[in-house]
Structure 1
Amino acid sequence: MMTTIYHNPKCGTSRTVLARIREAGVEPEIIEYLVTPPSRAEMQGLLAAMKMKPRDILRRKGTPYDDLNLDNPELTDDQILDALGAHPILMERPVVVTAKGTRVCRPAEVLQDIFPA
C-alpha cells in the first residue's frame, strides 16, 4: 500500500504521524511541503479527496494568515489557493494519503481513520 505524507519535520504532530506510519512497517513517500509545495492541481486534488474547501486547510498559527487578511469572507477559493501556493506554511499538516483515504492528521489520532493499525 502506497502512503504519502505531506510533512513538516519541525512539527511535533507531523513527526508523531510519520513515526506511527513507520512503526506499522510502512516507509511512506515523504513530501516536505515547505521545500516542495504541492502544485495548485495537486492541492485541488488533495482538497477534493478530503471533501474540503481551500479555507478548511488554512493554518493560522505561525503563518502570514493575519497579514494576508485570510479571514476575509469575501476571498474566493482561487484567492485562497493563490495564498497557499505563495505561502505553503499556510497548509495545515500533516496531510496523509493512503489507499483508504486522505486526511489532515491533526490530531495524530485521525491517522487511524485511513491507516491500518
Structure 2
Amino acid sequence: MKFYHNPRCGKSREALKLLQEKGIESEIIEYLKNIPTHAELEDVLQKLDMKAEDLLRKNEKVFKELYKGKDLSDSEWIEAMIAEPKLIERPIFVNGDKAVVGRPPEKVLELI
C-alpha cells in the first residue's frame, strides 16, 4: 500500500490519521519531495481509472498561470505534474490494483 501525502495539507493529514487509526500501514510518499516518475503516475492513474487531467489541482496558481485553457495529452499532463508536483491532487491511497483520491478523507477507507 502507498499513500501519496503532503504533510502541509489538512485533508492529507486527516486521511492518513484515519488509516493509522484502523491500523493500516502503508508506504508514505511525500510526493513534493519524492516526485513520482512518469511510469509511477501512469500506474496510479490506471488504478484510479482517471485521465491525467482529472488529477490536476486546477485552483493552484501555477495551473492558472501555465496550463489553464490548454488541451494536452495524458502524457503531457503527466509531464506537467512532474514539473510542478503541487498540481497533483492529494491525498492518493493505493492498495493493490486500486487507488482512490482521499477527497473527502474518508474515501481512503473504501480500499481497506
Is the structural similarity TM-score above 0.5? yes
CA deviations 1:60-80 (Å, max 9, x no partner) are 2334101112432x2222221
User: Percent identity between the aligned chains?
Assistant: 38
Structure 1: 5+ residue stretches without partners: none
Instruction: Answer whether contact 2:93 2:99 (CA < 8 A) is retained.
Output: yes
**Number of the residue aligned with 1:37:** 35
Distance 1:49 1:27 in 2: 19
Structure 2: 5+ residue stretches without partners: none
Distance 1:39 1:26 in 2: 25
Letter in structure 1 aligned against 2:110? D
After TM superposition, the structure 1 = structure 2 runs for residues 8-27 of structure 1, keeping only pairs within 5 Å, are 8-27=6-25
What root-mean-square deviation, in Å, do the aligned CA atoms of Structure 1 and Structure 2 show?
1.4
**Number of the residue aligned with 2:109:** 112
Distance 1:62 1:104 in 2: 17
Give the total of aligned pairs.
112
Q: Secondary structure at the match of 1:65?
A: helix
Bigger helix fraction = 2
After TM superposition, the structure 1 = structure 2 runs for residues 1-117 of structure 1, keeping only pairs within 5 Å, are 3-72=1-70, 74-99=71-96, 101-115=98-112
TM-score by length of 2: 0.92
Letter in structure 2 aligned against 1:44? E
Letter in structure 2 aligned against 1:104? V
Distance 1:35 1:7 in 2: 10
Residues 64/11 of structure 1: CA separation in 2 closer, same or farther (3 Å cut): same
Q: Secondary structure at the match of 1:36?
A: coil
Distance 1:96 1:12 in 2: 15
What stretches of structure 1 move > 3 A for 4+ residues in a row?
A: none
